[in-house]
Structure 1
């Protein structure tokens, strides 16, 4: 028996979610990447407390869906796994490109790219690979991709606001690993600011109000 794994390209369709209206007075456009287990239409609700006139949110949807729990009622999703990661990453980034092309974002609004948990890996890879001159990059409770280096972000200026936020009660918070990771990430992104909030592995909208 001679088993061979082959590869094929095809056109796929995926959804994404938006919150509020994009208009001439919109100040901030947020591209927000959810964590593992979410669907974008639920994740985007976390931002409902932020000013509706100033902020427009776009939440891409991770392509891989699965049932959560044993009753097969709730559905979650995942961006990437360790299986065929380079190819899957390219697929996801092309999908994000398509969203931005479709949305036709105005030049007057600030662009904020946010990743939560597993979404940090997509947000940071997209910014690095596409050389996105965003006004802010926000990473919440997620790990920074191992393959990215300082050279991948040399196009960013000192004006780019980069923030990492972590919950003090995060069950994945191991102080030694966190401190080592902070050193590594700061070497890559020297202007990064590290913040904490009193909660756990969660996105706290209150920490985003004075971000810019």
Structure 2
């Protein structure tokens, strides 16, 4: 018989810049499957140069990117992280939302005038959406980069939270993971949410295209 237990845990996140009374913009950037925040955040250095503070939480589940046999042959011990899998997914979602809320509460002053952007890349797009509509954070813009809304999101809650937010879909024109079927799914979900995300494309594949970032400042 399965049982559950709650306990206090620790988690890490990365940050570029600091929040001062003069800071006007802050971005939370959520990485994709198999990535680590310490490397993912490097792609956003141009934001720091523009005076934007960047916070990159790291998913709670880490794993070796290659299996034991491949690691023995290659000597590659690279590690990545995942926000969730299909196994025990609802508990993982609940855990990472609590974790992201804790990062927000630790970093954001109680009274602030920050313009907050939440960006999710690939798998992080679904994570960012679920966190955004959880209702515990104030934000102005949601950017889905190389990803779409999660199909199981709560539509009624999503309509209420997203109705006055700026929504942007960013992707490479040669992204192999964003097929016609995925775009059709995104259009269906957008229609059911009563939103119309702005679409921004670049020549490239499944990656953060750093030259495109200034178009979002």
The normalised TM-score by structure 1 is 0.90
- 1:1-212 mapped onto 2 (5 Å cutoff): 4-69=1-66, 70=71, 71-105=75-109, 107-130=112-135, 132-156=137-161, 159-211=164-216
Q: Secondary structure at the match of 2:133?
A: helix
Q: Secondary structure at the match of 2:49?
A: coil
For 1:104 and 1:51, the matched residues in 2 are separated by 17
CA positional deviation for 1:37: 1.0
| CA distance 1:24–1:125, change in 2 (3 Å) | same
Q: Secondary structure at the match of 2:216?
A: coil
8 Å CA contact retained: 2:133, 2:161? no
| CA distance 1:180–1:102, change in 2 (3 Å) | closer
1:25-61 CA-partner distances (Å, limit 9, x unpaired): 2121101100011111111100002253520001101
Q: Report the more deviating stretch, 54-63 or 5-14.
A: 5-14
Name structure 2 gaps, 5 residues minimum.
none
Q: Report the more deviating stretch, 160-169 or 128-137.
A: 128-137
Q: Report the more deviating stretch, 130-139 or 6-15.
A: 130-139
Q: Report the more deviating stretch, 88-97 or 22-31.
A: 22-31
| CA distance 1:168–1:33, change in 2 (3 Å) | same
The normalised TM-score by structure 2 is 0.88
For 2:134 and 2:162, the matched residues in 1 are separated by 16
1:5-28 CA-partner distances (Å, limit 9, x unpaired): 221111111100000121222121
1:85-104 CA-partner distances (Å, limit 9, x unpaired): 11111111111111111113
Root-mean-square deviation over aligned CA pairs? 1.9
Name structure 1 gaps, 5 residues minimum.
none
For 2:112 and 2:105, the matched residues in 1 are separated by 13
Q: Secondary structure at the match of 2:41?
A: helix
For 2:138 and 2:158, the matched residues in 1 are separated by 10
